[in-house]
Chains A and B, each alone.
Chain A
Amino acid sequence: MQDSPTIDLTAIRDGIASGALGAERTCAAMLDAADRHNPLLNAYHETFREHAIAAARKVDEDARAGRPLPPLAGVPIAVKDNVATRLGRTTCSSRMLESYRSPFDATAVERLVAAGAIVVGKTNLDEFAMGSSGEHCKWGPVRNPWDPTRVPGGSSAGSAAAVAAGLCAAAIGSDTGGSIRQPASFTGIVGLKPTYGRISRWGLVAFGSSLDQIGPMTRSVRDAALLLDAMSGVDEHDSTTADLPPTALAATVERPLEGLRVGIPRQYVSDANDPEVNAAVQAAADAYRAMGATIVDADLPLTDVGISTYYVIAPAEASSNLARYDGIRYGHRAQLKPGEDLFTLYARSRSEGFGPEVQRRIMLGTYMLSSGYYDAYYKRALQVRRRIKEEFDRAFASCDVLLGPTAPTPAFGFGANADPLAMYLCDVYTVNTNIAGICGISLPAGTAVRDGKRLPVGIQLQANAFEEERLFRAARMLERALAPVNAAHAPVVRA
């Protein structure tokens, strides 16, 4: 390892391939750490020791025999529990799917496994990926490894906590409005929301179908590149995947960009942010300037209406997608009393199976799609969505990447955003990436001290649709420049 903050997936992969690290030993060490720390962190819902050790043993045998190894041979990966795996259960951290066993693997998982990765466990999330804290999980709240009295962010809470604490080499999450990037920012790791259509959504339990993307959560930018390379590319099972080959970012990520133009939207540096967040953005801008990049002003006046747009589109799509949970074919079924009808079976199964936040969003979406309200809410939001996309296109005409905060604050305490609307506003800098379908990555950029504890602060880079190569090279430049700052501190709970 040269300058990445901790040993990352790439280093583990290289160590396994060279024989310096055994795959079995690495896997066992991470699972031991999971056993030790999971009672506190609650990152994993389930781990697969027997399966993982057997798969790792096979990698060690292949390595000893000199057989060629696939690119991710033996690396232990955690999977968010709204991504289908034949292994174990796929619960979405919901009572609704408490005992659901997927009959197939998600394409993203299938591709990671084909590349040699070993799935070591399923991680907890805000139920059905609806939340920004990791508190709304049927299996209890997930805790932040930097300060267990605070949330890890959400909804990919368990994946973030597991990566930050070293309970896996990397993880996959899903991002509908910031669910990869915000927890990455709260736990000091790298999180990517790829361009819509980069990674197949086949096997990702649908929430907001025009917004959802699977993405990597890792300890370095190069790891995120490797995982995107393995998972991306057109998929016959998802007609919304872009008709493009898999990315090959690992080959270019180390190459700095010449003449890079970094835009800072004036709406992103706000008094509403904590001072350390604005300082991190400033420090990143200074680092870019020192590397010869040009900093330009950008203007995204619709930043502020992103949350309003999102909370029409996402609940509308969710109310439609979640209509499939009716207690008939799979999922929770309520017990009826004699004489109760089919309608009662549907309604009671759903109200027993879904938690309050999920029910709130289903009602919100149902209301906005109902007769007489559709034009005022849904259609209008789709028109504002067009304006947001146009605004990004204008901004990217004069810069290559946009720099700003991932979240307005570092990790907050449990219950601090108990009011649903206050929780929604945490995602002000991330939702528009999904609304426009572009790509964004969160990187660790220093720390802030709260109640005597060090907490990570994240910054976000965004690039236009399918510009991941540029995004990653720009991100790697910054990661290299910020390495001394990020190496100074580590989570208190870690392997």
Chain B
Amino acid sequence: MSNEQSSGSLTAAQVAHVAKLARLEVPAGRVEEYRTQLAAVLKHIAKLDAVDIAGAEPMAHPFESFNRLADDVPVDGLPIEDVLRNAPAVEGRFLAVPKVLAEGD
């Protein structure tokens, strides 16, 4: 099967849309490369269609999980200075971020 056919299931527009959903900046020159690679993986994943899943309960986790409750005892969080040490930009005891709301919002 040629690349053209095997990657037919995924369009360049879809790759660009997924990149936006994933908050990734994919330069226009790389879209085709990603499209081909992702389509090849999706084609392989299509093997799942051959498995009989009738009546199979989806298994999101290896074991039946349940809520485990901790005692209602307050514990100290991490010291603010330890946490802020990793922040890319800080103002006083706060994380600094670019303006979130535009003028007039």
Residues of A participating in the B interface, judged by any CB pair closer than 8 Å: 99-101, 103-104, 196-197, 210, 236, 239-240, 242-243, 302, 304-305, 307-309, 311-312, 319, 323, 326-333, 336, 340-348, 350-351, 354, 359-360, 362-364, 366-367, 370, 377, 379-387, 389, 419-421, 424, 436-437, 465
Contacts and interface: CB of A to CB of B under 8 A. Distances in A.
A196 B63 contact: yes
Interface residues of B, number: 54
Contact of B63 (A197, A304, A370, A384): A197
Contacts of A354: 24
Contact of A346 (B23, B59, B99): B23
Contact of A386 (B56, B78, B89): B56
A384 B47 CA distance: 11
A132 B24 CA distance: 24
List the 5 closest A-B pairs by CB distance, nearest first.
A437-B62, A382-B58, A333-B88, A330-B86, A383-B53
Nearest to B79: A103
Contact of B97 (A342, A380, A383, A437): A342
A79 B47 CA distance: 37
16 contacts: A100-B86, A240-B61, A242-B63, A308-B44, A308-B46, A309-B48, A311-B45, A323-B23, A330-B88, A347-B24, A348-B25, A354-B24, A363-B18, A363-B34, A383-B51, A386-B59
A197 B23 contact: no
B41 A302 contact: no
A330 B47 CA distance: 39
Nearest to A341: B98
Interface in B56-70: 56-63, 65, 67-68, 70
Contacts of A304: 47
Given A362-B22, A379-B58, 18 more contacts: A103-B85, A103-B86, A197-B62, A210-B62, A242-B63, A305-B48, A311-B44, A312-B45, A329-B86, A342-B99, A347-B25, A350-B25, A351-B24, A351-B26, A360-B34, A363-B19, A381-B48, A383-B51
Given A333-B88, A386-B58, A465 B63 contact: yes
Contacts of B12: none
B62 A196 contact: yes
A103 B47 contact: no
Interface majority SS on A: helix, strand, loop or mixed?
A: helix
Secondary structure of the B contact surface, majority rule = loop
A167 B67 CA distance: 42
B96 to A, nearest CB: 9
Contacts of B25: 344, 347-348, 350-351
Contact of A387 (B14, B51, B95): B51
Interface in B34-50: 34, 37-38, 40-42, 44-50
A465 B62 contact: yes
A465 B49 CA distance: 28
A210 B60 contact: yes
Contacts of B28: none
Contact of B18 (A336, A370, A421): A370
Residue from B22, B42, B57 having most chain A Cβ neighbours under 10 A: B22
Interface of B: 10, 14-15, 18-26, 34, 37-38, 40-42, 44-53, 56-63, 65, 67-68, 70, 78-79, 82-83, 85-89, 95, 97-100
A351 B40 CA distance: 22
A302 B52 CA distance: 11
A176 to B, nearest CB: 13
A196 B60 CA distance: 13
Contacts of A350: 22-25
Given A103-B85, A386-B56, A347 B47 contact: no
A307 to B, nearest CB: 7
Given A103-B78, A308-B45, A389 B59 contact: yes
A380 B70 contact: no
B51 A329 contact: no
A375 B85 CA distance: 42
Given A329-B86, A386-B57, A387-B53, A343 B23 contact: yes
A363 B58 contact: no
Nearest to B30: A356
B38 A363 contact: yes
Contacts of A330: 86-88
A267 B40 CA distance: 24
